[in-house]
């Protein structure tokens, strides 16, 4: 079985074009190092390791290599046993004893990075050694460590959806991508976290050895080579945002009446404002346009109905205010990269009691859903 050169089809890559030719099939062993911290998340660290290990095994199995072409080391500041967030210990090598130039790829794992983020030794080590490896990346909150070293300045970067706001606020020089499963920007990789580190590792396999091998590894591990949609589909339902002033009553009314006529002209009349003044006041209060706010409210209603009820999708489109399935489908595709049907298949939790509770909660609730616009 021949492994063809790479045809790159990454999620969010830009900058450097990947050729997949450097050392891909010439028998060169690529050493991968994963930097861990106490309380590391196992999937953030072991997930990508498992992908690289599987690729090495498959290269041997198909006769493309006589020995594993990926060698993986777990690393930490002091070496020894690093305890994971669930209590399992992982044996690591100390950073101070490494010849970083021996490594092709270096990943900073997520979980347990609070201390590392403030540890000048770890940050300085990364700053000092980052250009000695061909490929540098992070999983989940490992992005904070790279950011503390100044390595993400002026770049797009991903982290777990729950930490996007914190990463952006802490490091405003970074362009935080809130939806991508992973991002590659000019040779520096960051992933959204947990299982998305495996997606990123698969893309690295594809960069090194081509799509055929990456697809084979994905099939053997029973995971997507390219999963549908971004990480926004996994975030928790958006809840009330504190909005004070004259817009607050209107925003609650919008949330309570998603199926009403919510065109901007109608809303400006309800607010007793001229259209021009309404646009300005609305954006000052919410940080977004009336149309974007309304669509996000309707998205939250539709998502809850898809998750918890057995309503037909056309009914959900009506109840959420989209009026037609096609309009709802376009909104889902634009905002989450998946169709309503695919979202329901992934997240549905139908039950009789949930139907009743959701119907009360999504339509006419005393605590309406107000979106947090980013």
pLDDT in tens, 196-205: 899 999 999 9
Report pLDDT digits (tens) over 90-140. 999 999 999 999 999 999 998 876 655 667 888 899 999 999 999 999 999
> What ranges do the domains of the chain cover?
30-231, 248-362
Which residue ranges in the chain fall short of pLDDT 70?
A: 1-27, 113-118, 228-244, 348-374
List the one residue out of 23, 75, 25, 27 whose CA is nearest residue 49. Answer: 75
pLDDT at res. 13: 39
272 Cα distance to chain centroid: 41
CATH class of 30-231: alpha beta
The pLDDT score that the predictor gives to residue 17 is: 33
Q: Strand 156-157 vs strand 80-83: parallel, antiparallel, or unpaired?
A: unpaired
Q: How far is CA 192 from CA 173, 341, 370, in A?
A: 18, 24, 25
Q: Which of 57, 118, 140, 164 is catalytic?
A: 140
Structure token pair of residue 372:
């947090």
Contacts of 118 (CB under 8 A, 6+ apart): 148
Q: Which residue has the tokens 């169709």?
A: 339
Centroid of chain to Cα 363: 30
CATH node for 248-362: 1.10.10.60
pLDDT value, residue 373: 42
pTM summary value = 0.62
Look at the chain and count its residues: 374
pLDDT of residue 117: 60
What does the H/E/C string look like for 151-173? CCCCCEECCCHHHHHHHHHHCCC
Q: Is 118 a catalytic residue?
A: no
Cβ atoms of 185 and 15 within 8 Å: the answer is yes
pLDDT computed for residue 208 by the predictor = 92
Nearest-angstrom CA–CA distance, 232 and 34: 26
Question: Distance between CA atoms of 311 and 294, rounded to whole angstroms?
Answer: 22
């Amino acid at each position: 079985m021949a492994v063809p050169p790479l045809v790159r089809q990454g999620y969010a890559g830009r900058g450097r074009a990947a050729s997949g030719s450097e050392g891909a099939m010439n028998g060169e062993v690529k050493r991968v190092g994963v930097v861990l911290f106490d309380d590391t998340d196992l999937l953030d660290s072991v997930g990508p390791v498992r992908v690289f290990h599987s690729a090495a095994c498959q290269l041997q199995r198909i006769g493309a290599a006589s020995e594993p072409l990926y060698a993986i080391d777990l690393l930490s500041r002091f070496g020894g046993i690093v305890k994971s967030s669930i209590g399992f210990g992982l044996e690591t090598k100390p950073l101070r004893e490494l010849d970083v130039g021996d490594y092709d790829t270096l990943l900073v794992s997520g979980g347990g990075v609070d201390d590392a983020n403030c540890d000048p030794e770890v940050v300085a080590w990364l700053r000092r050694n980052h250009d000695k490896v061909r490929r540098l990346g992070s999983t989940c909150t490992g992005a904070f460590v790279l950011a503390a070293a100044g390595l993400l300045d002026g770049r797009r970067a991903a982290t777990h959806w729950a930490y996007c706001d914190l990463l952006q606020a802490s490091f405003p020089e970074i362009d935080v991508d809130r939806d991508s499963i992973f991002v590659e920007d000019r040779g520096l990789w960051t992933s959204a976290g947990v299982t998305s580190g495996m997606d990123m590792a698969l893309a690295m396999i594809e960069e090194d050895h081509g799509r055929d091998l990456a697809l084979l590894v994905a099939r053997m591990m029973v995971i997507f080579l390219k999963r549908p949609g971004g990480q926004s589909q996994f975030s928790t339902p958006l809840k009330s945002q504190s909005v004070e002033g004259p817009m607050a009553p209107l925003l609650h009314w919008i949330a309570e009446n998603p199926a009403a006529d919510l065109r901007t002209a109608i809303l400006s009349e309800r607010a007793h404002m001229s259209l021009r003044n309404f646009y300005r006041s609305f954006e000052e209060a919410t940080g977004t346009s009336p149309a974007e706010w309304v669509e996000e409210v309707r998205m939250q209603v539709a998502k809850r109905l898809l998750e918890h009820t057995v309503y037909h999708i056309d009914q959900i489109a009506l109840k959420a205010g989209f009026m037609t399935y096609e309009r709802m489908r376009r909104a889902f595709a634009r905002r989450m990269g998946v169709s309503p049907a695919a979202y329901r298949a992934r997240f549905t939790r139908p039950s009789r009691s949930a139907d009743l509770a959701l119907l009360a909660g999504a339509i006419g609730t005393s605590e309406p859903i107000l979106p947090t616009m980013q």
